[in-house]
Amino acid sequence: MVAGADSRLYLIFLGAPGAGKGTQTAMLSQALGIPRISSGDLFRENIKNQTPLGRQAKAYIDRGELVPDAVTVGMVIHRIAEDDCVRGALFDGFPRTIPQAEALEAALAEQGKTLGAVVDLVVDHEILLERLSGRWMCRGCGASYHLAFHPPKTEGKCDTCSAELYQREDDRADTIEHRLLVYYRQTAPLQNFYRQRGLLYQVNGEQAIEAVQEAVLRVLGVSQPAEYAGFG
């Protein structure tokens, strides 16, 4: 497995908006017993709570632009220092630029932590459009659903926490196209960044959700999630 000798597991999930990062990291977080850190969720929480950071980020998010590195890096690095991240963390949607990746590398090193792997979920543009335009999110826990591909058991309600489902404002057709463009320009170069470090594992994200999860566990070398959850 890709855990360090001390069995801590810090993993990045790379992939375009709609590739399935949130879906996969939520499942993996449960299976491995380590937290999921989604920069998008952290921003949305700040926006909901009307914090200064949330106010700063909102205009960028509404336009489908990236929030500036200085704001994003500070928020995520602060989160990694929390107690629940001592055994590992799953990064969903962070880093999204080379400076963010460099800042994460430095922050992990400073805290005596190392990156185990970068899982890149590869999905074709047309499929991404279909997934994002049919996505419904839970207001409570942030879980992702899809009208056709992953419908909730009860219409409009989250299977896990029963909270209301909603469509994200930035999942509108015009913003989706722009977010994908931003991904190809600013985030896709991270594939080479991590390939050069020998950390990149590409997984076909076009398979069914459970098949993607199995493929992810396979590349991580975790055949029995319980094996890992027992570490401490």
Residues in contact with ligand AMP by the rule CB under 6 A: 17, 39-40, 43, 60-61, 64-67, 72, 93-96, 100, 170, 179
Strands (E), the chain: 9-14, 36-38, 88-92, 115-122, 135-138, 144-146, 165-166, 200-204
Indicate which residue of 21, 36, 44, 131 is catalytic. Answer: 21
CA distance linking residue 43 with residue 68, whole number of Å: 12
Active site residue 96: yes
State the nearest-atom distance from the C-beta of 105 to ligand ADP, in Å. 22
Picking from 12, 1, 64, 59, the residue whose alpha carbon sits closest to that of residue 38 is 12
To the nearest whole angstrom, how small is the minimum distance from the Cβ of residue 92 to ligand AMP? 7
Q: Residue 142 binds which entry of ligand AMP, ligand ADP, none, with Cβ cut-offs from 5 to 8 Å by kind? A: none
Is 168 a residue of the active site?
A: yes
**Of 8, 36, 79, 96, which one is the catalytic site residue?**
96
Does residue 8 belong to the site contacting ligand ADP (CB under 6 A)? no
94 binds, among ligand AMP, ligand ADP, none (CB under 5 to 8 A by kind): ligand AMP
The structure tokens listed for 185 are: 């320009």
134-163 positions binding ligand ADP, by CB under 6 A: 134-135, 144-146, 149-150
Q: Of all helices (H) and strands (E), which one includes residue 73?
A: helix 69-80
> Residues 58, 157, 168, 172: which is the catalytic one?
168
The closest of 140, 117, 143 to 20, measured between CA atoms, is 143
Instruction: Please indicate whether residue 157 is annotated as part of the active site.
Output: no
Buried b (16+ CB within 10 A) or exposed e, 170-205: bbeeebbeebbebbeeebeebbebbeeeebbbbbeb
Phi then psi for residue 135, to 5 deg, are -80, 140
Give the nearest distance from C-beta 232 to ligand ADP in angstroms.
Answer: 28
State the minimum distance, in angstroms, from the CB of residue 100 to ligand AMP.
6
Based on CB atoms, which residue is closest to ligand ADP, 15 or 95? 15
135 catalytic residue (yes or no): yes
180: left (phi over 0), alpha (psi -120 to 50) or beta: alpha
3-state secondary structure of 146: strand
Judge whether 55 counts as a catalytic residue. no
User: Out of ligand AMP, ligand ADP, none, which partner does residue 135 contact, by CB within 5 to 8 A per kind?
Assistant: ligand ADP
Which residues does the annotation mark as catalytic? 21, 96, 135, 168, 179
